[in-house]
Amino acid sequence: MTSPRSNQACALIVDDERDIRELLVLTLGRMGLRCDTASSLSDARSLLRQNRYALCLTDMRLADGSGVDLVREIAQLYSETPVAMITAFGNQDAAVGALKAGAFDFVSKPVDLGVLRGLVQHALKLGSEARKGPANAPDPAATRLLGASPAMADLRATLAKVARSQAPVYIAGESGVGKELVARTIHAEGARNAGPFVPVNCGAIPAELMESEFFGHKKGSFTGAHADKPGLFQAAEGGTLFLDEVAELPLPMQVKLLRAIQEKSVRPVGANSEVAVDVRILSATHKNLAALVDEGRFRHDLYYRINVIELRVPPLRERREDLPLLADAVLARLAVAQHRPKPLLHADAADALSRYNFPGNVRELENILERAFALADDDGIRAADLRLPEARPSAPAQAAAAQLDPSKIDPRESAASALPSFIEEIERKAIEQALTDNRYNKTRAAAQLGITFRALRYKLKKLGIE
């Protein structure tokens, strides 16, 4: 064994197979790393107490215990040392267990040297950034993950830890809470920040084009394939692929996505061989993914593969104390964009915002303030400028119907006036809410409303909704 006393970075390799240890020492040596080796947990623990390592690679099964225990100990006691797990080929449960324990990545036996070199490069960058400390982190204001509430403080603290891992992250939260901002922050604070961040809305890709969009295609593989085209996985090479609204993936595509994640390779449509890809997977949806698994609408194995680490982004109503800071930041951003002075938010407007429930969360706050900014007088924004509805329930049609009091309808009025108008207003509110919930995706809005796309188009035209 070599003692790491020089300035040269040193790695710890823990494996009970001599051939594997020698292969790893040779490969890492060619990358400029010195190596210490251990064949057991006890030897590894002894070396960790005596030295500081830029990286640790450990096998899953050792003579005196499990490599997962070592992963957990390093994550707790030597947090500046990234640790990766060596697993048996196809043992995805072990890989997921290692990631949950704190490993930043894993590599399968037989070891692919190209994959190993990429893993080592990411590990060295992670360790370097950990030693530099929090000064290297981006300004929270730049990510708009603002807030002094306990919920946001906990989220930001968790993000700092999650960013150091390469494990898949599932981001849960209602529409408009900022799930993509969380994903971008994870990417920006991690070792892949020099690589691309590729967001994709899974609900916006037609089912028949999904395989080509995700994995790419070869020229002539189908009608219209006039040239080779890389897919989203290839576009995110060395960086992060963010699967937004992952619950919208059809079951056949879920199978192919699971294989791509597990094997770290994709097969373009029309290709004879697979292409290795190096991406980190982040995913999100506003739906209850666990419930969809129970209903058989989302694959159990894919759920556990993308949900190695789960983050919940709190809705705005659970952190109302952040409203003043958020409103001020939004108005400042709007003022800069429109080359106007930042407007004053009067007390009556601030009070109205504090009492509003924000079903659309931070995105709705931004929309409300942008509209108010456009309508307000020079003296600032008042409550009337906000144009807040009295109630914005999640099921507008039911709520509006519940407010219908037949005793208040004058029976002398014709059925062609009061009742039809009232029903039209209920429909209008329900459709507008569904469009807002689904970011004006009409196909998904129609599905939420339980009507066909054609019926929705007819109602939009009838009600004059643009």
- One digit per residue, the tens of pLDDT, for the chain of length 466 reads 444 455 678 999 999 999 999 999 999 999 999 999 999 999 999 999 999 999 999 998 898 988 999 998 998 888 889 899 898 756 677 777 888 888 888 888 888 888 888 889 888 877 665 555 544 444 433 335 788 899 998 898 888 888 888 889 999 999 999 999 999 999 988 888 889 999 999 988 988 889 999 999 888 888 777 888 889 999 999 999 999 999 999 999 999 999 999 888 999 988 888 888 989 999 999 999 999 999 999 999 999 899 988 999 999 999 999 999 999 999 998 988 888 899 999 999 999 999 999 999 999 999 999 999 988 887 799 999 999 886 544 444 444 444 444 444 454 444 444 455 667 777 888 888 888 887 778 888 887 887 887 778 878 877 777 6
Q: Which residue has the tokens 């219908």?
A: 404
Residue 280 CA to residue 327 CA, distance in Å, equals 33
- The residues, ordered by sequence, that sit 6+ positions from 234 with a Cβ below 8 Å of its Cβ are 216, 266, 275, 277
| CA separation for the pair 448, 434 (Å, rounded) | 7
Domains of the chain: 10-132 (3.40.50.2300), 138-312 (3.40.50.300), 316-386 (1.10.8.60), 396-463 (1.10.10.60)
Distance CA 48, CA 460 (A): 66
Return the structure tokens found at 459.
């109602």
What percent of the chain is modeled with pLDDT above 70? Answer: 86
Written as six digits, the tokens of 173 are 């939260």
**Which pLDDT does position 244 carry in this prediction?**
94
